[in-house]
Structure 1
Amino acid sequence: MKKVIIALVLILSVFIVGGIYIYQSANASYAQAEQETVAFLKERTDLKDVDEFYWYNSEATIFTVKGSNESAEEKYYLVKTDGGTVIMFDAADMVTEQEARRKTNEARSPKRILNAKIGLMEETPIWEVTYKNEHDRLGYYIIDLKTGEWIRSVDNI
């Protein structure tokens, strides 16, 4: 009986260590992108403290950092990966992530919201909210970051 328990503990340990390794490997590129984007922005802008990081892929890849500057003003810093162009917005003038999620709930009544991220659609800053509908199908609800107005929905993917 003792050998069975030891064998089970060893097998369980291997699964736990393997799971941790897989998780870290999967998140390595995200962590690296965040680290490099923050360093890039601290060199070129007034970014001081970081609150959130968003990775958006569509027409182009956009990395966004929500943070504060030396004057403690909350800002969004959008970085276009093709060329390194930085676009800044005052967070106080933009729709919050919570508001974007609330608007998605009201408009689409999703089963579950998966995430929300900031990006650019034809040079318009947007919130892209990803959700699962009542049939467990993927959907996107896209609103204007500045006005909160609906731009586009994609359902049943």
Structure 2
Amino acid sequence: MKRKNYGRSRLRKIMVFAMAVIIIFGTFIIYTQLTAPKKEARSEATTLARKYAKLKTVKNFYWYNRQRTYFTVTGQNTSGQDVYVVIAQKGGQINIYSHDKGIDEQKARTIVQRDQQPRKITKVAMGMWQKKPVWEVTYLNKYNNLCYDLISFKDGSLVKTIQNI
């Protein structure tokens, strides 16, 4: 009698272990598939930034979607200057902006915090709006509604806002 229970218990443990392995492996596969487009975009944008902006080190990568999609790579060029390299997904147009010619991500966050008092900032990304560099700050307002502000890279002014999406 005990041998039968022992066999069932052992089989049950093996089945639980096998299911755990399958779940972990499946989760890994799904995660890999979901993050692949961003990794590929980052890799391609970094390659272009290194080639055309002479980027030596890479600090950040941003993915911006509004009227068009832009990838922005930040870092330091071979001259030691901090730059933003904004690359259009279609057409591959590349714009290079010196870090000291505008505001940075933290300043854009501070502007939105001061003006909108958001509950939570969910995303900050640099891109282009009407041929001008902007910071897109996406956030949840005090009513937990999704909002976004476009902040001018040049002077920190509000370019566009959409509230309560």
Which letter does structure 1 place at the counterpart of 2:51? Answer: E
Please, which of 75, 79, 98 is the counterpart of residue 71 of structure 1? 79
- Residue 3 of structure 1 and its aligned partner are, at CA, apart by 4.1
Structural RMSD (CA)? 1.6
- How many residues are treated as equivalent by the alignment? 157
Please, which of 32, 46, 50 is the counterpart of residue 38 of structure 1? 46
- Report the identity percentage: 30
Give the TM-score normalised by structure 1.
0.91
Q: Which residue of 1 aligns with 2:107?
A: 99
Please, which of 53, 56, 73 is the counterpart of residue 64 of structure 2? 56
- Residue 41 of structure 1 and its aligned partner are, at CA, apart by 2.3
Structure-2 separation of matches of 1:114 and 1:9: 37
Q: For the structure 1 residues 137 and 2, does the alpha-carbon distance in structure 2 shift closer, same or farther, using more than 3 Å as the test?
A: farther
Structure-2 separation of matches of 1:64 and 1:117: 8
Q: Which residue of 2 aligns with 1:13?
A: 21
Which letter does structure 2 place at the counterpart of 1:132? Answer: L
Q: Establish whether residue 82 from structure 1 lines up as the match of residue 95 from structure 2.
A: no
Matches within 5 A, 1:102-121: 102-121=110-129
Give the TM-score normalised by structure 2.
0.87
Which letter does structure 2 place at the counterpart of 1:129? Answer: V
Q: For the structure 1 residues 126 and 18, does the alpha-carbon distance in structure 2 shift closer, same or farther, using more than 3 Å as the test?
A: same
- Residue 44 of structure 1 and its aligned partner are, at CA, apart by 2.2
Structure-1 separation of matches of 2:64 and 2:56: 22
Paired residues of 2:112 and 2:137 also in contact (CA < 8 A) = yes
